[in-house]
Amino acid sequence: MTPLDPAARLGHKQAMARSSASFTCTSCGASHKKWAGRCDACGAWNSIVEEAPLSTGPASKSLGGARGRAAPLSDLSTPEPPPPRTTSGLAELDRVLGGGLVPASAILVGGDPGIGKSTLLLQAAASFARAGLSCVYVSGEEASAQVRMRAQRLGLADAPVRLATETNLRDILTTLDRERPGLAIIDSIQTMWADNVDSAPGSVSQVRAAAHELVSFAKRTGVAVVLVGHVTKEGQIAGPRVVEHMVDTVLYFEGERGHQFRILRAVKNRFGPADEIGVFEMTGMGLAEVANPSALFLSDRGAPAPGSAVFAGIEGTRPVLTEIQALVAPAPPGTPRRTVVGLDSGRLSTTLAVLEARCGIPFAGFDVFLNVAGGMKVTEPAADLAVAAALLSAREDVALPSDTVIFGEISLSGALRPVSQTENRLKEAQKLGFTTAIAPAQSKPGGSAGLKLRQMADLTAFVGDIFGAG
Ligand code: TYD
Ligand code: MG
């Protein structure tokens, strides 16, 4: 055997990995040779735990050695009908799924504990069941009585959902195999326990093994499977990121504590656009759909105040207006504070640096607080200009005109870059009663008349125009 024999090298590497890598990050699933306080792969602290190595049988021989079965090959032009979809009638959920539930798909719904995942999925199960899809809801966390009580509170007790409280994966698979429902909900994947894996429920090996079994079950039988996963801050429980790569669709249920808004966001979807959001409101009667999120996010805007700018954003396929709020206050000696909620702190630093370097407006002596109202998270670079506007407005103590929306990406040179879907942003702003939009110079407004579009080439022009001196 020459040293370059790929099969031999693969076998050698696998053997090495099995014997040595026995520490795993519970946040991202990366394996490490030894324990460390911080995971190199994802940067999480205190997330590495020792794992019993996966038992994969006695053979440590390379796979290339033995003959396997030849997989059938086909070409790309074979016609494929679009997947049949079932809609639940919960429009916000159906949209995030890419237009309804696809049979045999595996969906992960992640979120912080207590955010409302069980509530959402019980409502989803009831809606799908009422729409004629057979649904099984497996709860590993709550007793049947608790789930029934919640169903009663939500007015869903009459929905034909089949309920099981079980954590043994073998029993669950047997049950599902006998029932063959259209949709099975597993709440949560961290409570599931596969008896062929020798570690505690919630550990990376258990969560991976359980997810793997359930995903293969979905593919084999055509049952759509939803896995609920708690986001874990630290500790011994594996987070949903460990199974993200195994499933077709990854949805995160987000929201700020103390706010009633909840956002279901598709971060990965093999059957639809990623970044699509569904907006819900947590009420005493469960989650209510919010059909017009812009109105909701802007609803508690008072009189025009310094530090507030309205950003016309796009979430997935939908325009959403949000209010960006900034507070700029003189800082005590030392490093000034930069506190950001709902936006990327790296982009705030960049925007501050561009304002200082290109427009000569320093923020060095000031604490800066930046926030997206309503608990929304904004990830688009198109928010740059609205962030800059809010910062300047707070710093100069001048309120921006209340009938104006702002969007545009700021490049490091200080130039304003046009962003996508200008027309959609303008239409939404117009619908909500705004009369003026500030946008980068080369934006293509399309056919949306009725809104005054003020286009600016760079940040200096913007500062001069809005705040007088440049
Ligand atoms: P839950 O769905 O249990 O969260 P998760 O499964 O993500 O841990 O929801 C928990 C919270 O939702 C709880 O604090 C109470 C609140 N809630 C309401 O406000 N209204 C309702 O109708 C329901 C069922 C729950
Ligand atoms: Mg729950």
pLDDT digits (tens, 9 = 90+) for 365-416: 999 999 998 878 898 999 999 999 999 999 999 999 999 999 999 999 999 9
The closest-lying atom of ligand 1 relative to the alpha carbon of residue 282 is 19
Q: Clarify whether residues 157 and 222 are in a common domain.
A: yes
Domain of residue 26 covers 22-51
**81 in a domain, yes or no?**
no
What is the rounded average pLDDT of the residues 218-238? Answer: 85
Q: Which of 291, 322, 357 is the last residue of a domain?
A: 291
Helix, strand, or coil (residue 142): coil
Short-list 157, 149, 107, CA closest to 129? 157
Q: Do 145 and 240 fall within a single domain? A: yes
Tell me, in angstroms, the distance from the centre of ligand 1 to residue 322's CA.
25
| Other Cβ atoms within 10 Å of 405 Cβ, number | 25
CATH code at position 327: 3.30.230.10
Contacts 24+ apart (CB under 8 A), 343-352: 343/370, 343/372, 343/377, 343/378, 343/383, 343/387, 344/379, 347/381, 347/383, 347/384, 347/387, 348/387, 350/384, 350/410, 350/412, 351/384, 351/387, 351/388, 351/391, 351/410, 352/391
CB 267 within 8 A of CB 315: no
Residue ending a domain, choose from 291, 315, 342: 291
Distance 289 CA to ligand 2 centre (A): 19
CA of 256 to the centre of ligand 1 (A): 13
**Do 332 and 208 share a structural domain?**
no
Please tell me what DSSP assigns to residue 246: G
> Which segments within 129-248 are labelled E, that is strand?
135-139, 161-165, 183-187, 224-230
Decide which of 239, 262, 291 is a domain's last residue.
Answer: 291
In a domain, 2, yes or no: no
> Which 8-state DSSP code applies to residue 202?
T
Whether residues 105 and 252 share a domain: the answer is: yes
Q: Whose CA is nearest to atom 10 of ligand 1?
A: 114
Give me the pLDDT at residue 343, please: 93
Reported as half-sphere exposure (CB side, CA atoms, 13 A), residue 359 has a value of 27
Same-domain pairing of 121 and 223: yes
- Indicate if 137 and 161 belong to the same structural domain: yes
Here the contacts of 37-43 (C-beta below 8 Å, separation 24 or greater) are 42/241
Question: If you measure from the C-alpha of residue 282 to the centroid of ligand 1, how many angstroms do you get, rounded to a whole number?
Answer: 8
Residue at 328 is within a domain: yes
- Give pLDDT, residue 17: 44
Domain match, 280 and 316 both: no
Which atom of ligand 1 lies closest to the CA of 188?
6
Q: Is the CB of 188 under 6 A from ligand 1?
A: no
Is any ligand 1 atom within 6 A of the Cβ of residue 258?
Answer: no
> Is 351 part of a structural domain of the chain?
yes
Q: Which of 115, 119, 282 to mutate to test the pocket of ligand 1 (most atoms within 8 A of CB)?
A: 119
Q: Which of 11-20, 52-61, 204-213, 271-280 has the highest mean pLDDT?
A: 204-213
Q: With respect to residue 457, please indicate whether it lies within any of the assigned structural domains.
A: yes
Which of these ranges, 9-23, 63-77, 207-221, has the smallest mean pLDDT? 9-23
Q: Is residue 79 domain-resident?
A: no
- Kindly report the CATH number assigned to the domain that includes residue 261: 3.40.50.300
According to DSSP, the β-strands at 135-139 and 161-165 are: parallel
Residue nearest to atom 22 of ligand 1 (CA): 286
- Let me know whether 337 and 227 are in one domain: no
**Nearest atom of ligand 1 to the alpha carbon of 111:** 7
Please report the atom of ligand 1 found closest to the CA of residue 119: 2
HSE of 61 in the Cβ direction (CA atoms, 13 Å)? 7
Ligand 1 centroid from CA 291, angstroms: 21
CB count in 10 Å sphere of residue 55: 11
Q: Taking all residues of the chain, what is their mean pLDDT, rounded to a whole number?
A: 87
Please say if the pLDDT value at position 108 is more than 90.
yes
350 and 447 part of one domain = yes
Q: Do 384 and 319 belong to one domain? A: yes
Residues 303 and 443 in one domain: yes
How many whole angstroms from 288 Cα to the centroid of ligand 2? 18
Q: Is residue 366 part of a domain?
A: yes
Residue 20, pLDDT score: 52
CB 183, CB 125: distance < 8 Å:
yes
Beta carbon of 387 within 6 Å of any ligand 1 atom: no
Q: Which atom of ligand 1 is nearest to the CA of 122?
A: 2
Each residue's pLDDT tens digit, 85-105: 999 989 999 999 999 999 999
pLDDT at res. 260: 83
> Does residue 100 lie in a domain region?
yes
Partners of 438 in the β-ladder: 406, 454
Say yes or no: 283 and 307 in one domain. no
Rounded to two decimals, what is the model's pTM?
0.79
pLDDT tens digits along 110-135: 998 999 999 999 999 999 999 999 99
71 Cβ below 6 A of ligand 1: no
Task: Report the alpha-carbon distance of residue 251 to residue 267 in Å, rounded.
Answer: 6
Query: Does the Cβ of 262 fall within 6 Å of ligand 1?
Result: no
Residue 79 has pLDDT above 70, yes or no: yes
Residue 66: burial class (beta carbons within 10 Å; 0-12, 13-18, 19+): exposed
Q: How many CA atoms lie within 13 A of 153 on its CB side?
A: 13
pLDDT band for position 18 (50/70/90)? very low
Given a cut of 50, whether residue 7 has pLDDT beyond it is: no
Q: Is the CB of 285 under 6 A from ligand 1?
A: yes
Q: Is the CB of 153 under 6 A from ligand 1?
A: yes
pLDDT value at 5 more than 80: no
Structural domain count, the chain: 3
pLDDT at 21: 53
Q: Output the six-digit token pair for 376.
A: 């929304």
How many whole angstroms from 257 Cα to the centroid of ligand 1? 12
